[in-house]
């Protein structure tokens, strides 16, 4: 389930409920700290730096959590899947606006999969119930800024076994350069292409970082390598 598609299936709904916060720990801390310090003033707002927020972003984190917990009397299902779907769609529009307005930004996020992005919002919101959802989303994109894509870059689909992920070529190249810096990959392979050498280097990196050893340049690995401070193996 990718940002570009927003197509939800029963399986993707189950994946939405996985809160893999250990892998996003540092990114969550950065985002939470940004929330605590106060959101940066909007670039386009009134003279008091105020602006109207529409949709789910206008809710407080507590209000969003309450909506997730609501139970349908007929189906007995909670509202979590619907709220997460709405949040993912809202974030699509948000990041599109960022990309359009921020100078020197082609894509504000190195992560093309919406599941980890939604999970990050829910994770930060769980510790900041009075904060507005839009403020949390803004903080998360601020925390990812060092890994943003500054110029146009095509999407690349990477498949390992029966698992696939999509990321931008520039992000893959940055990840490969990070692997070179850790002496896990030769510089000749840091070209934005995926091959067996890159896969092997990723497995070594993921092993050292105690991440799932998929060999994929997945969201966990990208954020750990390009945003968080790498842990020593």
10-residue block means of pLDDT along the chain (233 residues)?
Answer: 34 36 49 54 63 92 96 91 96 95 94 92 94 94 93 96 95 97 96 97 96 94 85 48
pLDDT at position 228: 81
CB atoms within 10 A of CB 16: 22
Rounded to whole angstroms, the Cα distance separating 134 from 46 reads: 17
Region at 183 (left for phi over 0; alpha for psi -120 to 50; beta for the rest):
left
pLDDT at position 39: 53
Q: Are strands 155-160 and 163-168 parallel, antiparallel or unpaired?
A: antiparallel
pLDDT at position 30: 52
Q: At what angle do helices 114-126 and 61-69 cross, to 10 degrees?
A: 110
pTM of the model: 0.78
User: E strands along 101-229, which residues?
Assistant: 155-160, 163-168
pLDDT at position 76: 87
pLDDT at position 50: 79
DSSP secondary structure letters along 35-49? HHH-PPPPSS--TTS
pLDDT at position 51: 80
């Amino acid at each position: 389930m990718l940002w570009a598609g927003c197509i939800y299936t029963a399986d993707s709904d189950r994946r939405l409920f996985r809160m893999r916060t250990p892998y996003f720990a540092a990114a969550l801390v950065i985002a939470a700290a940004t929330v605590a310090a106060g959101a940066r003033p909007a670039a386009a707002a009134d003279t008091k730096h105020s602006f109207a927020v529409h949709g789910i972003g206008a809710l407080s984190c507590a209000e969003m959590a309450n909506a997730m917990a609501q139970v349908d009397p007929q189906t007995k299902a909670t509202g979590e899947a619907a709220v997460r779907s709405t949040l993912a769609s809202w974030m699509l529009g948000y990041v599109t606006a960022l990309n359009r307005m921020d100078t020197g930004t082609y894509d504000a996020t190195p992560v093309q999969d919406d599941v980890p992005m939604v999970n990050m919002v829910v994770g930060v919101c769980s510790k900041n119930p009075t904060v507005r959802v839009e403020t949390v989303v803004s903080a998360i994109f601020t925390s990812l800024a060092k890994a943003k894509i500054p110029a146009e870059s095509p999407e690349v689909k990477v498949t390992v076994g029966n698992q696939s992920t999509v990321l931008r070529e520039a992000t893959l190249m940055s990840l490969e350069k990070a692997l070179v810096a850790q002496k896990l990959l030769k510089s000749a392979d840091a070209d934005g292409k995926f091959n067996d050498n890159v896969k092997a280097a990723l497995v070594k990196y993921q092993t050292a970082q105690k991440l799932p050893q998929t060999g994929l340049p997945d969201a966990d690995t990208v954020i750990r390598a390009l945003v968080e401070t790498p842990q020593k193996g």
